[in-house]
Structure 1
Amino acid sequence: MKRIVLFLATNLAVLVVLSIVMNIIMTVFGVDFGSYTGLLIFAAIFGFGGAFISLFLSKWMAKRSTGAKVIQQPRNDAERWLLDTVRKQSQKASIPMPEVAIYDSPEPNAFATGASKNSSLVAVSTGLLRSMSKDEVEAVLAHEVSHIANGDMVTLTLIQGVVNTFVIFLARVVAGLINNALRGNQQGGSHHGGGGFVYFGLVILFEVLFGALASLIVFYFSRQREYRADAGAARLVGPNKMIAALQRLAQGKESQLDDKMLAFGIKGKLAKGELMMTHPPIEKRIAALRHGSY
């Protein structure tokens, strides 16, 4: 229930903010959103705007959706060790010290998120701490620190923004062309055939279709950044520790993180084909490390 409320609240905030931005652009610059140029600007506002608002809210959302508690003052040796380990790795990776949190979950997993390297979060599950050795946990932390050092959160947001923009734009262009053809009115109305139940129904249909195809692009880049984070962890703590951590993760079930957090976890969900996966198969990640792909 909490996740649903957070999802609805976030999307409502996105719509309100972007609607205000659109009104300002229309008033100040006189942009005609009925033209192809205006439509592209509209698509970019919602495509990039939604992606970046989600990025800026990502740390707040992550804490609330998982119940992660940031370690302010270590209460025991385990928390003290976590902070010390992340601090050493951050210094080695030349990034500011992230917040370190623990969230209650039997699933062995961890994630990194945040709007920038200066405002990042590394969180690990209680299941990971219970089921892994210190060397394995150290490798998992190094993987997440590498995500931050590589700027993966911003990179994936930019890719998502580009993809969103073209999905929104192309869905409306194709829907408009079909709608105009059905009405036998190639010249009437806006250039992209706006208006009417048929048009909006077609827009929804093509956004779903193009969005599914575009997801393959996002998934590809997500998989590549996992390889880079594994390689970064190998440089920070050594490949053997990272391989051992991945082997341990392979013994567990697929990730239970929700969709918004899934791409940021060290372990993803299984799919029928690799094209639909946010993370490469663990055996491929291990093979890459063994072949020295770092």
Structure 2
Amino acid sequence: MSVTETPAATRDDADQLDAKTQRTAVRERYGRIAAESGSCCDDTASCCGETAAEDTQVSTQHGYSADDLAAVAGDANLNLGCGNPTAIASLDAGDTVLDLGSGGGFDCFLAAREVGPDGHVVGVDMTPEMVETARDNVAANDASNVEFRLGEIEHLPVADASVDVVISNCVVNLSPDKPQVFREAYRVLRPGGRVAISDVVLTADLPTDLRTDPESVAACVAGAATISALESMLTEAGFVHVTIEPKADSDEFIREWDDALDLSEYIVAATIEAERPEAGA
């Protein structure tokens, strides 16, 4: 499938929700998901299957292997993503990794396997219930090199130049201030560090009722930005070697996100990669 951004794939600020409403909708949705025994399914969205086999199929569509799924215990895998950022992160032993919007911690635990005991993984999430769930999963996975912090991805509770790789899985689209997210990612990365993000991107203008619907924002739809907009945000934050690649087969699971509308006509999953320049570059 080829992905072309049409001129309509732009945003009118008057048609967007204010930041407070967006954050409230996101926090409430994911707090509810964390509280409901790790189920991401509700009456308005179908982001996972009704059986274990269907859940596994969704995870496979996102890019996880059977080994990945078997490696993590507890309620860490909530099937809330749209890709597998650890697969594109090229992690090395000893790396420090930061996961933006870490949810139940699934990608953090996968990253922890790659960085080993000398590495460190930090997950940041703004939903207290998700942080509590993720911390419970630390014990279930005996992951002493993983920790979770409560915070917003626009204001990371992480020191300057302390991270080698920033990952994220279908979370940046939820932010009402994406340029600030990328500025924060740049701040916490060491020179030469990189971002490896799985997210959705906008390919055609959404209907107005979706753009202004809090649930649509919280469901990883209405907050998506175009590829060109994301490229500009990353470049303006200081990143180089920016690459955004749509996933041609993501329509298979995006179609399942809404019973009434084929959302694959408007958004597509993509990998987003960029680097902070080396010192002196």
So what's the TM-score if we normalise by structure 1?
0.28
Q: Which has the higher contact order (CA 8 A, sep 6+)?
A: 2
Larger Rg: 1
So what's the TM-score if we normalise by structure 2?
0.29
